[in-house]
A and B are shown apart, each in its own frame.
Chain A
Amino acid sequence: MTSRKVYEESFYKNLNKLTGIPVGKIKAYAKENNPFNILEHPMVVEPNERQLDKINKLNDFISTYNVLRMEEENTRIQITCPQDAGDYFNALIGNKRDRERFMVAFLDTSNKIIETKTISQGTVDSAVIYPRDVLKMALANDCKGILLAHNHPSGKMIASTPDIAITQRMLNIFKPLDIKIIDHVIVSAGKYLSFAEEQMLEDLNNGLADYKPIKIGEDVVTENDELEI
């Protein structure tokens, strides 16, 4: 079955489910016409009074839905540079001194924020991240980009080995899905460190996706130390 046919069948079935107009009538009209015309010109399928009322209400709802969607699109915050990302997350967690918080902003194709979520709240110097949670939220938001962020309560603007490791893991998970990790920012008291700005993202090579939980922390880990997972 072609994708167009699938779309048509889906439209017939759903329109029937919501309005009660028989699928046969819709299909008969769609043989020679664009079935979407039914929404604009419902009389072409000779609906009864109740079906006509449903189509009119459906049309009203579609209009309102589209307006709301446009309004939401226009009110979304756009991240255009690392400074934007730093400012945004500093406003959210830059002043949190009690514990580390790991947040993720899910972005659309214009880098406008669809939704921002706190993924993990840890201790004063560490937090555990479950990549599968991030993946679930990314898919639910149908995002095209992801912005990672966490705070360093100590105020140190240094990326630790675990910070780099989680960035690497996220890159590995999302690259095959064509979802771009646009940056990972560390924030504290108005300051920020951007992996993108420091060209640290470019240095990270792609490996195999690994969905095990990750513990991040701001302790600087030496080369001989193992990542605590």
Chain B
Amino acid sequence: MVTAIFLGGKQMERNIQTINSLIDILDLSKEDGEMVKDAIKKEGLLKFVNGKGQEQLTSDVCEKVSALHEILLLVQDDDSFLMGGDLGDK
């Protein structure tokens, strides 16, 4: 499967910025940040956020990534959320 990360040029620049943003969002220490970078290099950003390659990370970091993943899923479901849909009928 193609992982659209680390492709080079402007995209690489964008990806580096994205990873740096991720590290800021998660408030990671330098050491945790490096581990996250390694995991993303290995798995790709999407898979990492979806929970792969997190074996070496601390439970605190995993919890933060999980929180981010949940927000991403909730944002994807935003239309259903607004309309009621499967999520309730507020």
List A residues at the B interface (Cβ < 8 Å). Answer: 2-5, 7, 10-11, 13-15, 17-18, 34, 36, 39, 53-54, 57-58, 60-62, 64-65, 68-69, 71-72, 75-76, 113-116, 140
Contacts and interface: CB of A to CB of B under 8 A. Distances in A.
Contacts of A64: 14-15, 18, 21
A68 B22 contact: no
Interface string B16-58: 0110011011100000000000000000011001011000000
Contacts of B88: 2-5, 7
B74 A10 contact: yes
A113 B75 contact: no
30 contacts: A3-B88, A4-B84, A4-B89, A4-B90, A7-B77, A10-B70, A11-B70, A11-B71, A13-B67, A14-B70, A15-B71, A17-B63, A17-B67, A18-B26, A34-B81, A36-B78, A36-B81, A36-B82, A57-B24, A57-B25, A58-B71, A60-B17, A61-B22, A61-B25, A65-B46, A65-B49, A68-B46, A72-B1, A75-B4, A113-B1
Main DSSP-derived SS at the B contact region: helix
Interface residues of B, number: 38
